[in-house]
């Protein structure tokens, strides 16, 4: 089915989607508030990049920290908008009258989970960067990259499998 032929269905958000959205919003506000509260105590230069082992490999002005919540907010807003148009998403299964509602809901839920994980990761990075800048930590840890990759790819794989199973 071509995207221009797909019907627009009114499928309300699930309780889980609403809970994840609110949890991400609250964490975003708390993380941004933490950055604001610690701003005056930050040194002029803070970690701006971490290598694959989680070690600092570039320092820059503390103003670069402002980018983390901004990027998180823009991604969250953009993905929230994309969630509203599941008829425009790409699907692994051929859509038909028997599976279309499931496929729309599944695709929307995948976007919801991923967008909220992205916010959690960016707020965690903000917190850890402040900790490293204050000298409380010396890196974000060697496990950050593998955990991040698992958090990104496992939901995608799970939702893709669900999509294929419900052809």
How far is the C-alpha of 115 from the C-alpha of 77, rounded, in Å? 9
Which residues neighbour 130 within 8 Å (Cβ) at sequence distance 6 or greater? 34, 35, 38, 42, 46, 65
**β-strand partners of 46:** 60
Is residue 5 domain-resident? no
First to last CA, the chain: 13
Nearest to residue 24, comparing CAs of 103, 83, 101? 83
**Cα separation, 28 vs 42, whole angstroms:** 20
Domain presence at residue 146: yes
* pTM of the entire predicted model: 0.87
The total number of structural domains in the chain stands at 1
Give a yes or no: residue 92 inside a domain: yes
User: pLDDT for 74-116, tens place per residue?
Assistant: 999 999 999 999 999 888 888 888 999 999 999 999 999 999 9
In a domain, 111, yes or no: yes
């Amino acid at each position: 089915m071509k995207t221009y032929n797909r019907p627009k269905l009114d499928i309300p958000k699930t309780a889980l989607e609403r809970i994840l959205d609110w949890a991400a919003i609250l964490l975003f506000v708390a993380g941004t508030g933490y950055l604001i509260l610690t701003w005056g105590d930050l040194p002029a230069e803070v970690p701006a990049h971490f290598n694959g082992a989680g070690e600092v490999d570039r320092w820059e002005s503390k103003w670069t920290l402002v980018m983390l919540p901004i990027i998180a907010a823009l991604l969250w807003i953009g993905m929230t908008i994309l969630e509203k148009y599941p008829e425009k998403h790409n699907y692994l299964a051929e859509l038909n009258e028997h599976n279309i509602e499931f496929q729309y809901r599944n695709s929307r839920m995948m976007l919801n989970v991923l967008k909220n994980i992205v916010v959690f990761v960016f707020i965690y990075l903000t917190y850890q960067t402040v900790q490293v800048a204050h000298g409380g930590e010396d890196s974000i840890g060697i496990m950050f990259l593998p955990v991040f990759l698992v958090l990104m790819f496992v939901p995608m794989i799970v939702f893709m499998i669900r999509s294929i199973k419900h052809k």
